[in-house]
Amino acid sequence: MGVTNVAADAANSGASVPSIVQATLPGVGAPVAAHSDAPMSAAVQARWDHIAAELRCLVCQNESLASSNAELALDLRRELRGLIERGQSDADIRSFLVSRYGDFVLYKPEVKPVTWLLWFGPFVLLLGALALALRLMRRTPAAPAPLTDRERERARQLLES
């Protein structure tokens, strides 16, 4: 009724078998398209490897763009290749990706006021912890109050008995 059979419609329209499979099984065509690109030249491949290793996968977060298998990483790798092939400089590519995805996309973000806490926060915490430890170690305990005559007499009696 309101549901159409996509595969049947594709077959009736004279579509090829691969397009019927892609229509029937969503996502099947994406990996094929990602790997069917023409091989890169050695220079483009070297730049691509260098830049992709410096970029973080936005989905996986602890994987580089070069090693991630996430769908977004595949798209970003294609985008990166296109930018390189269009002659963009490495700095232009990084600037474009940072403007689009923020400093998080870089494994080593630039040192600027927005990222100072990221870069210097651990050192500030370490220095603070060391200062606190030194202060606690230097603090001398207060000398005990001297015994009163009565306490001294009581102690002498206890020792003699």
The pLDDT of residue 15: 45
Distance of CA 128 to the CA centre of its chain: 26
Q: Are 93 and 80 in contact (CB under 8 A)?
A: yes
Fold of 40-108: Helicase, Ruva Protein; domain 3 (1.10.8)
User: Is the pLDDT assigned to residue 42 strictly greater than 80?
Assistant: yes
State the Cα angle at 51 between 118 and 106, rounded to 5°. 15
Q: Are 60 and 68 in contact (CB under 8 A)?
A: yes
pLDDT digits (tens, 9 = 90+) for 47-67: 888 999 889 888 887 888 888
The pLDDT of residue 37: 62
Q: How many CB atoms lie within 10 A of CB 108?
A: 10
Residue tagged 């296109």 (tokens): 82
Longest C-alpha distance within the chain, in Å? 114
Q: Is the pTM of this model over 0.75?
A: no
Q: Could you state, in order of their start, the residue ranges of all structural domains in the chain?
A: 1-36, 40-108, 111-139
Task: Out of 64-68, 92-96, 102-106, give the one with best mean pLDDT.
Answer: 92-96
